[in-house]
Amino acid sequence: MIDCYAAGTTNGQRAVCVLEESGLPYRLHDVDIAAGEHKSASFLALNPAGQVPVIVDPDGPSGQPLTLAQSGAICIYVAEKSGHLLPRDAARKAQAVRWLMFVLTDLGATATSLFHLSLMKSPPEDAIALLRARLQNFLRLADAQLATDGNFIGEFSVADVALYPLMGFPVVRAALEGIPELVHLKQWQVAMAARPAIARAMNFMPAPGSRTRAPA
């Protein structure tokens, strides 16, 4: 059984979403970031960067234990281990990974930078305007890609799973409100929320003060 160490961040939610969709058995461990548990010696032994999520698979490749951080890497590993969420066809798989990287390194990274800048006492308005425009452009690209088949590559994949938690990020919500014409992205969001595994994953995210839990 895979152990998943996560918190209620978009990255943590992403790891739980992909595990739920994969059907692999796992235990969810609440890492209380507010209490500094991500900086504890026991957690740093799993990920020296002190960041969630982390998974520990005692039955990893060749039957050897595997500890893995970074939500994107977790998405790919879980998809390949389960045989779900990544096409077997090499070209379609490459496209799924391409859009996964788009979510993580383009859309997600821009949203995170914009969020951190907005927390500053005197945020640089030029930088915020630049990042906001960049984020809106990425959302338009996602909307255009989703227009044909309702998902990124013509079938449900890790790219869809990776994007969904970001939709609740405050700066992404604000950007969406400023672009009412993104109907395909908004329809996709509704369809994603209706998926039982996604709904379970989002509900499983730990409440403050809770501890290790295993999904029913």
Instruction: Please state, in angstroms and rounded to a whole number, the distance separating the CA atoms of residues 118 and 15.
Output: 26
Whether 178 maps to a domain, the answer reads yes
Whether 213 maps to a domain, the answer reads no
6 and 28 in contact (C-beta within 8 Å)? yes
pLDDT at res. 148:
87
99 and 58 within one domain: no
Total domain count for the chain? 2
Residue 151 belongs to a domain with what CATH number? 1.20.1050.10
Whether 211 maps to a domain, the answer reads no
Whether 172 maps to a domain, the answer reads yes
Q: Structural domain of residue 24, as residue ranges?
A: 2-84+198-204
Calculate the alpha carbon distances from 166 to 5, 102, 172 in Å: 19, 12, 7
Neighbours of 140 (CB within 10 A): 15
Which mean pLDDT values do the consecutive 10-residue runs of the chain (216 residues) have? 95 96 95 92 96 97 97 98 97 97 97 91 90 96 94 97 95 90 95 96 63 39
Instruction: Please state, in angstroms and rounded to a whole number, the distance separating the CA atoms of residues 106 and 197.
Output: 26
Token pair 């960041």: residue: 51
Instruction: Please state, in angstroms and rounded to a whole number, the distance separating the CA atoms of residues 216 and 210.
Output: 16
Whether 216 maps to a domain, the answer reads no
pLDDT at res. 131:
95
pLDDT at res. 92:
96
Instruction: Please state, in angstroms and rounded to a whole number, the distance separating the CA atoms of residues 84 and 105.
Output: 23
pTM above 0.85, yes or no: yes
pLDDT at res. 1:
94
Residue 48 belongs to a domain with what CATH number? 3.40.30.10
94 and 189 within one domain: yes
pLDDT at res. 121:
86
What the block records as the tokens of 5 is 């160490």
